[in-house]
Chains A and B, each alone.
Chain A
């Protein structure tokens, strides 16, 4: 009898430690974040709990009249709308091209395209900041060689956003390309051989065999990329601190600035919840669309 009790408890010794850590650093924090988003918790409240006041929806109401927040929201939407389709199209394009050949050259390209994904965002952001420098940066120098006048890149509100997107694309394509390549290699060769016999050319094969076979991978990349761009943080944090004129600030950076630079924990938690709800909404819309498409085909 004792042995059976012991063997009943064994599974919990396996999953227990990981679950306890996730509980304390992921699940409970969500509840705390929700709670403090309805309070005025700030640096004073941290030292003296009695000064924390429950202020209802005030944080949320203030957020939507805070120009900085609204600007961050519209910047984040810009990042998502521009960034997500570009990542999907470019990484799929890279995967299709690399899948075209099998020799050393194509293998080398696969390696090169993936490398930016594993490097530290801070380090590459520092490098790109230097390359974007309007006076002695590499990019303007190369542009001037082919007779194109240089841009202000990170110093101009219009180009700054695009500059950050370019860096994020450079870094983000590789991983997704590998996901597409793995899926491409899983498509049975017999499908192509049959199409070849029917006289289908390369483009027709891509359209009717390759792309439909990739639908799950495309969906996966779409969802993960979308979530990633909603949380866009490292690049604006290192390169522009949200400037110039708040033009590159993202919601994630807004949360950090208000939480850790201004110590308005309650206000920042409210902003983080707005972001969380937006992510859940966007993701579930995608799941809906995916389900519908599967129902049709």
Chain B
């Protein structure tokens, strides 16, 4: 046991193993509609009341050559009757629509797991494209897994025959056949899907009916083909306990869009969104473009710079300017963000991080823009940085970004990432009455008789007044050149620059940031795992499992990256060891070391894939292994299933 064992809570006692959690991975060609299949399976899972997390994993190419290894698109979902924090380490079920999908995904499948393969796509041509020397469905190479070989292609074509589709169109219904089978496997209701298909193909009713026929045929196949004889039984996964209330699924991108709208409404402002298409940020623009009735104006600019510059112009004119991008786009926006800092105008900049540097891995996730967010500008240019930890959390973080931007007249950087943008999770619909409005005010009061208006006067929070052009009597000029205290006129004098630099720093450092809470565990102890952003899920699960075994480990997850919560230094100092898992090479770790002189250690991963729970569990175990007076430590039960220790980089 670990040195400081603790009393188990009931939640921890049942946390490991989670008996009723299943991971399904749908994999196929980019054109096979796997994201759609996954999305609809997610919806039916949510409607069945399971907790869930998803991981859409798709290539950067829109339509890579058919059948190729790099053209494989996959969608993974983890669902269960207990709390689910991640999309799951290892799939229990792999649906492989072609040889390439099998090849690129089968190694991750749990030993004994089920492979459902469409034999209709395992012809010589596709085997060659996937670089298989022999057909893996026949050569015994898949023996450690359960294999269900079905000619899904032929079964689908047969099912949709009455609708007179061409062969190509008929085959497009394959994904619905597969989905039908999956729905049977987990005893799911088909009705919402039928409804959805009718709405989607409202203009082509025969396509709707063909897809419904394919869906029903897949389902019927499960019922009648006696799959039980092959050891494949229908499984019921009970609903997960959750607080009573109204639920929906939400992706991070939707959640950010909704949070921005909510934030702007709470501030009593209009929103101007300047954007430029970039993966994986564009989905936010797509969502907002449909919400005009909420006082949202969206503008697709000619480039990233124009996107942020127009947003800043709109803030100057009295709206809240918002722009979203990903790393390379944020780099282009940097100069304008500096102007926002200098002119002290509100602005929300969302960075949906992706693998970098440069173009990097556009469709893969990473959290390697923390330095860019906190430090990445010319001059001493501080701005607040907030990081979202889950799809649902994006909503509150976006509101918080709007609050800080408008209450302090500052640009705010909101960090999310490619994983959160696309991942869906159930979300308890918030009661908007529980959010306290934070009305932003445009200054209109004239200065006292005989005095000139001071655009850079300060309130107690060091905030300057926000004056909209169009306001009589308060004419003034602002710009990027250093300005004089109070008047805002151009001023290059040494003492003034010192004073203004100090004020810009003090204003940001003085932002009212909630104290750091402990997500799991206690406020002191042998080890704390400190995370930020989308690593929340795997860290929470790993810590829960470790604690269930009695390991003295706690979890602290930081939302306010800059300024850091005021109690964070003391809190971190109260643990003997600090482990910081990050999808970068150690950026938060460096920040914590710099700010608090603590001996934080890194666990890093930059493979473009989220952390697995097991990777973090291993790192936690390794810590206790390495403590000299630890009597044996507490290791995860089955080390053979865990990845190598090389991932750990203390």
| A pairs with B | no
Interface residues of A (CB under 8 A from B): none
